[in-house]
Every structure is written in structure tokens, then in C-alpha cells.
Structure 1
Amino acid sequence: MAEPMIPLSVAVLTVSDTRTEETDRSGQVLVERLERTGHRLADKRIVRDDIYQIRAVVAAWIADPDIQVVLTTGGTGFTGRDSTPEAVSVLFDKRIEGFGELFRHLSWQEIGSSTVQSRCLAGLANATVIFCLPGSTGACRTAWDGILAEQLDSRHKPCNFANLVIPERGQHG
């Protein structure tokens, strides 16, 4: 008998000075994909590209025992307002170095050398896994389809991040 997938509680944050719920295609892509794979949307917000607004929302979600995964989209580039890495990285207990490397590898196959400007990153904080993705819908699809779908699936072998954030399975402390 196949092992059942354990649904995770996921929060989605879109970082943008211009997007609204109606125009937030990247956030919508993440919500559609997480729900389609059996996870639960815990919260969804849009904040301006402001280091302190981003940090406040992500810190509150990390502190919430009912949220196991945080996905951010936007603010990972090199423009003057892009500040997601600076806002979020200080909250990490541990960085997931391979996430950015693997994302850029997958992205290179789609957009070539432009992927070098992606500062996407991931980490673990208070038994919550956080993935900071670029703001394009294509980048969100690439990250979900190529990395997150498997790594947030408790059945994926030999290892996955789901089993680190599920309370009865995780290694907290």
C-alpha cells in the first residue's frame, strides 16, 4: 500500500510595489500548484518591496506553529528596490545552499545566462522552511515543478523538507 502524502500548511507572500490580488499571477501560480498537489493555503499576502514589511510578515509566519512552509515571490533581483534576500536571510537558522544553485541550473536551461541575476534563496527557521523565488510566473513554475513539488512531498525519497517540518517527524530543537 502506498504511503499517503502528508499535506503541509503553506503561506504565500508576493513582494511587489505594483501587483494587486487581481494582477498577482506569480502568487496565483504558487497557490494553484500547492493546492493541486494536496497542500493547504494558510495565508496569502502582498507587500511592498520594503525590507521591514517583508521581514515582519515572514517573521510572523515563522512564529506561527500552524505554518510549515513560506513561499515568497518577488524582490530577488538586482534593482534598487529588490530586498527580499536582505529581509529574509537574517531570519534563517540554517540556509539551504543547494536551492539557489539548483534553481539557477534549471532556470539557465530556460533563460540562459540571465539567471545569474537571480538571488533566490531558501532556509529553515523555527521548523518552517522558507523559499524565496523570483517574481516572474515562469520562475515560480520552474521552482515548483523542478524542486518544490518533490521537496514538499513527504513521500519523496531519499529525503525531503516536508519531513523536517511535520511536527511528529521533524527534528526540532
Structure 2
Amino acid sequence: MSKKAKGPFVVLNVAVLTVSDTRTRENDTSGDVIQERLETAGHKVVSRVILKDDVEILRGQLRAWVADKNVDAIISTGGTGLTKRDVTPEAFEPLFTKAIPGFGELFRWLSYEEIGTSTIESRALAGVAGDTLVFCLPGSTGACRTGMDKIILPQLNSTTGPCNLTEMLPRIRHDPAPKLE
């Protein structure tokens, strides 16, 4: 379990993306879970969009949000499965400047406790794109609850210890890159 560190809570601006050919705002229960969890935790949802499973459309949206200095983090749901239509990893991974492989590993480990070996069908992933945190969750509402409650929200909470991603954001944004030889 996480230890609590001292320090104030930092409100983050988060964009939420649902990747689906069939969902609408009226039936996007996964997007609803993500938004509700973020707002209950004290963060601000600055944009929420539903886009179809198309690599170029998804990349365009990701690029726009990464370029927007008002967006600290992006959370997507959907498109992480194994069908031909599932293209979220293919759309997002090339834009990551740093992958966060532990996110997918931890998500599948936690998910295993809930759905058993079916968790291998998930390609949940996370990374840093430019200076923006990006999390890609599966499309199921249960998977979104697991990812939000057990991984993302604790890491977006600046009071979570011994460390969290929120306290790393200033360094992600301003530390100079080391020179490679």
C-alpha cells in the first residue's frame, strides 16, 4: 500500500478520450467512470471526446492535446484489444517520448485478480508524450474502474508517497535531456 506524503493536493487538467465506433455520449459508461472518478478526486476534466478507431484521427487528437499547455494528462478508454479495429496502442506509442511499461504490467496483474487469464487480451499502456502523461485503458467499465482506482488516481494524487507522477510533472517539463554520445 502507498504511504501518504506531506504536501498540498495539486489539481490536474485532464482530457478524456473514448475510442469507439459505436459509443455515444449517452452510452459511454467507461468515459463516465473516468470523468466521475477524476472530478471526485478533485481534478478538472478540460475536454472529453469520443472518436472512432482510426490511427490518424487518434494521433491528431493526441497531438492537439499534447500541444495544449492546459492539458496535464490524457486518459483514453477503448481500442486496446486484439481485433483489427483496436488501434489505440498503434496510434499512441509512436508519439510517446517515454514509455511507462510498469502501468500495463501492473494493470494486467491487478486485472488478473478480477478476470483471470482473460487479462492477456488487454494492451493497456501508458507513457509521456511531450510533457503530458498519457494512460490508455481498455473499453470495459470494470477495467476503467480498476485502472482509475488502483493505479491512475493514486499516481495523479500529489500527496501519494513515496512518489507519484504529479510531483514528477515539473521535472518532466523542465529538466534538460542528457546528451547522448
TM-score by length of 1: 0.95
CA contact (8 A) 1:127 1:164 kept: no
SS at match of 1:90: helix
- The match for 1:34 is 38
In structure 2, stretches of 5+ residues that fail to align are: 1-5, 177-181
User: Identity across aligned pairs (percent)?
Assistant: 54
1:170 Cα shift?
4.7
Higher Rg: 2
Distance 1:48 1:149 in 2: 26
RMSD over aligned CA atoms reads: 1.1
User: Structure 1: any 5+ residue segments left out of the alignment?
Assistant: none
Alignment correspondent of 2:155? 151
Q: Match of 2:149, as an amino acid?
A: D
After the TM superposition, which residues 1-173 of structure 1 pair with which residues of structure 2 at under 5 Å, given as runs? 3-165=7-169, 167=170, 170-172=172-174, 173=176
SS in 1 for 2:161: coil
- In the alignment, the residues of structure 1 paired with residue 100 and residue 45 of structure 2 have an alpha-carbon distance, to the nearest angstrom, of 23
Deviation >4 Å, runs of 4+:
none
Distance, in Å, in 2 between the alignment partners of 1:109 and 1:40 is: 30
2:27 & 2:40 partners in 1: Cα distance? 21
TM-score relative to the length of structure 2? 0.91
CA shift, 1:171, in A, is 4.7
